[in-house]
């Protein structure tokens, strides 16, 4: 089984463009390197991962691509670009020349207008993403799901993945309109969905089984051929260590056949992002 962590982060505070990352987030307010993620993921047989943007700057995207150049465990990068720039299509084309730039992610959850992504001015950038074969990572909350559905209808060639199951507020038991929105996206689009970030939405030190209902709805709605596993480390540490999310994930998938487990834990990420795994990764295969 080729296990891929389809969503992790690294950052250097001195870079200064992480507006959301403040001392108030004490567990996260530190430099985080790819090697730190490897120390958490390698013991579980993770073969590589997708490094995802954490700042809305193209400078950070280049920083992430530099990390990929330096570490073959970074199989892909999801970056950021100013999609409203007059020359956004050219910027996207230039970034996409890097073989490990696999997707782009506007930080929709931090934009006040939930319909922001539907403005006509963004169409050239979205068309450029399609032309370059890039994945649109949708960092959204339940309020955004109807608009993501509209976006998919307008751009049927745009490959999309919903990050973190669209971040339902599990801590307060939010079910609707999240559950209906997820079901509509799954049924009416070809989007995939990341099984990641749910423990964080369940609050600090979530109880055993806290995310099961939501995770099972994601799996049932999208099917095991369209669900992609990720850790969202180190943001995950706001709720739990890497090893706990690994254990929870294995419990969630234990009733599936081996082929389905392999798809969720790596095969779907490889297909979604077009990842190439080096033959000599130094990570032993494990049985699941």
- Say if residue 280's pLDDT is above 70: no
Q: Rounded to whole angstroms, how far apart are CA atoms 158 and 242?
A: 31
Q: List, for residues 234-254, the tens digit of each pLDDT value.
A: 999 999 999 999 999 999 999
Question: What value does the mean pLDDT take over residues 170-199?
Answer: 98
Question: What value does the mean pLDDT take over residues 12-30?
Answer: 95
Residue 19, Cβ neighbours under 10 Å: how many? 12
- Say if residue 283's pLDDT is above 70: no
Could you tell me the CATH number of the domain that includes residue 85? 3.20.20.140
Question: What value does the mean pLDDT take over residues 228-232?
Answer: 98
Q: Which domain holds residue 137?
A: 3-273
Within-domain flag for 282: no
- DSSP summary character for residue 65: H
pLDDT of residue 70: 97
Q: Are 128 and 93 in contact (CB under 8 A)?
A: yes
Kindly compute the dihedral angle of the four CA atoms of residues 42, 7, 264, 152, in this order, to the nearest 10 degrees.
-170
Q: Are 170 and 181 in contact (CB under 8 A)?
A: no
Question: What value does the mean pLDDT take over residues 171-177?
Answer: 97
220, containing H or E segment: helix 212-222
Collapsed DSSP state (helix, strand, coil) of residue 72: coil
Domain count, the chain: 1
- Say if residue 175's pLDDT is above 70: yes
Question: What value does the mean pLDDT take over residues 41-47?
Answer: 97
Give the tokens for residue 161.
Answer: 């993945």
Kindly compute the dihedral angle of the four CA atoms of residues 166, 113, 102, 283, in this order, to the nearest 10 degrees.
-40
Question: What value does the mean pLDDT take over residues 86-106?
Answer: 98
Question: What value does the mean pLDDT take over residues 108-137?
Answer: 98
Q: Rounded to whole angstroms, how far apart are CA atoms 105 and 158?
A: 13
pLDDT band at residue 266 under the 50/70/90 scheme: very high
Q: Rounded to whole angstroms, how far apart are CA atoms 186 and 260?
A: 17
Q: How many angstroms separate the first and last alpha carbons of the chain?
A: 7
Question: In this prediction, what percent of the chain has a pLDDT beyond 70?
Answer: 97
Within-domain flag for 152: yes
Question: What value does the mean pLDDT take over residues 2-15?
Answer: 97
pLDDT of residue 278: 81
Q: What is the DSSP string of 226-258?
A: SEEE---BTGGGGT--HHHHHHHHHHHHTTS-H
Q: Are 141 and 109 in contact (CB under 8 A)?
A: yes
pLDDT of residue 207: 87
pTM as predicted: 0.94
Within-domain flag for 281: no
**Strand arrangement of the beta sheet that strand 46-52 belongs to:** 3-8, 46-52, 74-79, 101-104, 135-138, 160-162, 192-195, 227-229
Most confident region among 23-27, 174-178, 277-281 by mean pLDDT: 174-178
CA 78 to chain CA centroid, nearest Å: 8
Within-domain flag for 285: no
The mean pLDDT of the chain is: 95
Give the tokens for residue 285.
Answer: 């295969």
pLDDT of residue 208: 80
pLDDT of residue 285: 40
Within-domain flag for 102: yes
- Say if residue 282's pLDDT is above 70: no
- Say if residue 288's pLDDT is above 50: no
């Amino acid at each position: 089984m080729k296990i891929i962590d389809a969503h992790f982060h690294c950052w250097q505070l001195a870079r200064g463009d992480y507006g959301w990352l403040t001392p108030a987030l004490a567990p996260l307010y530190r430099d985080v390197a790819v090697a730190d993620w490897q120390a958490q993921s390698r013991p579980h047989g993770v073969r590589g991962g997708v490094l995802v943007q954490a700042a809305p700057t193209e400078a950070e995207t280049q920083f992430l691509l530099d990390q990929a150049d330096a570490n073959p465990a970074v199989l892909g990068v999801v970056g950021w670009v100013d999609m409203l720039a007059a020359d956004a299509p050219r910027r996207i084309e230039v970034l996409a020349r890097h073989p490990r730039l696999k997707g782009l992610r506007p930080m929709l959850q931090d934009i006040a207008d939930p319909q922001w992504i539907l403005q006509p001015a963004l169409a050239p950038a979205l068309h450029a993403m399609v032309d370059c074969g890039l994945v649109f990572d949708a960092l959204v909350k339940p309020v955004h799901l109807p608009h993501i559905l509209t976006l998919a209808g307008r751009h049927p060639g745009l490959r999309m993945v919903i990050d973190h199951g669209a971040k339902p507020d599990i801590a307060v038991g939010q079910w609707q309109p999240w559950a209906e929105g997820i079901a509509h996206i799954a049924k009416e689009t070809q989007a995939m969905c990341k099984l990641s970030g749910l423990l964080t939405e369940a609050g600090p030190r979530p109880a055993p089984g806290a995310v099961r209902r939501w995770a099972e709805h994601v799996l049932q709605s999208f099917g095991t051929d369209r669900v992609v596993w990720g850790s969202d480390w180190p943001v995950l540490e706001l709720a739990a260590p890497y090893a706990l999310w690994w254990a929870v994930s294995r419990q969630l998938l234990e009733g599936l056949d081996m082929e389905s487990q392999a798809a969720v834990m790596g095969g779907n990420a490889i297909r979604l992002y077009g990842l190439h795994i080096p033959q000599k990764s130094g990570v032993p295969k494990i049985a699941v």
